[in-house]
Structure 1
């Protein structure tokens, strides 16, 4: 048995989503999707689409989705940084055990600059955090 469809569908796009109200209450039994809003997750806001006036229930559903999406994206960012740390460790092992002189020559300067930049930012941020009361 199929489960009931949610009342709203959020089509993910860069920096947000398009919000659609789902309607299956028609004679053909088709799924109708009416766009009702545009969401910007970077700013944490939304606006109605066209002439549509958002109901309180729609606004609550959109705000709930924004909060959940922002939490999901923050967790994804942190996970990506943890994977980057793992990649740095794997790169170290690769440079020690398998890299050829030609490979190291090709990559060393770019990697050293990137690591130097990262180190400078991390040290500055750490100093800022330690300097706070």
Structure 2
């Protein structure tokens, strides 16, 4: 079994992970996890655990994991937005076809405020992108 174990294990936490080096080749044939670092994805910080000095290999693997984790989180975030679009469509169908007056009374104000806020942000961001696209570039002759 130890041949199948990775060299590093990343215990995910909200901002990053605790990084462990895995040892499955000891005399007791037990899996030992030695914490070597704490990683913060948001600010890119890698803190060695205790008085440990991280090797180049440790840093390389940690940075590789950080890049993969960031890509995974970004993909999940976009997928969540696509799901939110689906939920908005399902909510419109529910409100139109199945919701009772009492149910609508319970959720209408919160939904309208959330949708108004979202619409305001989306319109402002769209206008910003359009304005930026119309700005002349420094290398364009006029």
TM-score of the superposed pair, with normalisation by structure 2: 0.90
Could you give the per-residue CA deviations for residues 66-108 of structure 1, whole angstroms, max 9, x where no partner exists?
A: 0000000000000000000000000000011001111111111
Question: After the TM superposition, which parts of structure 1 deviate over 6 Å for at least 4 consecutive aligned residues?
Answer: none
Number of aligned positions between the proteins: 133
- Partners of 1:32 and 1:94 lie apart in 2 by 52
Structure 2 counterpart of 1:112 = 112
**Deviation of 1:2 (Å):** 7.4
Bigger CA drift: 41-50 or 104-113?
41-50
| 1:127 matched to 2:132 | no
Cα separation, 1, equivalents of 2:78 and 2:44:
19
Give the whole-Å Cα distance in 2 for the aligned partners of 1:2 and 1:33.
13
1:85-100 mapped onto 2 (5 Å cutoff): 85-100=85-100
Unaligned runs of 5+ in 1: none
Distance in 2 separating the partners of 1:77 and 1:53: 34
Please list, as runs of the form range in 1=range in 2, the aligned pairs for 1:28-67 lying within 5 A after superposition.
28-67=28-67
Per-residue CA deviation, residues 23-67 of structure 1 (Å, 9 max, x unaligned), is 122110111111000000111221101011000000000000000
Alignment match, 2:27: 27
TM-score, scaled to structure 1 = 0.96
Tell me the distance in 2 between the aligned counterparts of 1:105 and 1:25.
63
1:16 maps onto 2:16 in alignment: yes
Task: Return 5+ residue gaps in structure 2 as ranges.
Answer: 136-142
